[in-house]
Structure 1
């Protein structure tokens, strides 16, 4: 009987951990932007850091980047326009916890980027 109780408790613990650790949301993707203070080709330079704060890997991350423009090249494997409204992060490949995607762009203004739920992402 004691072995059955221990097995049941172990099963419940495993079920709880698999649910707690295996569920990531788009809200677990944080985007921070800040001015670098540099001027590039007459435009202000900004640095963008996209980080996955969930313990699980996330794929296929798209941001609403309507109007995004830059006078410097951005590595398309990190961030690229798909169409006039969406940009792909990390070429739709995995974004791992504590492995941020970082790039810079230069333009007159800092662009507001939204997640697919039209939620403002953080800026500093």
Structure 2
């Protein structure tokens, strides 16, 4: 209940819809993954399939929302609040638990194996006998 109330209060302060709020969380999550892993778009797509990562990311996000609500200055304009909010949600210096990254790595390897099998099947289908 507190998480929902806090996210609703953040959205109200920033004049964001629920969709804008969710999109921002997702955008920052992907930005975070890009910052810790040197991966191409395909690999990044595989990593974003990790439910455990997103659960951790949202939990981490909601904790930062709580800090934002406590530390915000009531007289700030929306644009000033956005700057503060973005600063508090920077992706630098954030590291997930090892098991979260292991699961994400497992999903990446599973995706690589499926892609390799698919590519091999295509190649065999194109060979003339």
TM-score, normalization by structure 2? 0.20
Give the structure with the higher percent helix: 2
TM-score, normalization by structure 1? 0.21
If asked which structure has higher relative contact order (CA below 8 Å, sep 6+), I would say 2
Give the structure with the higher percent strand: 1
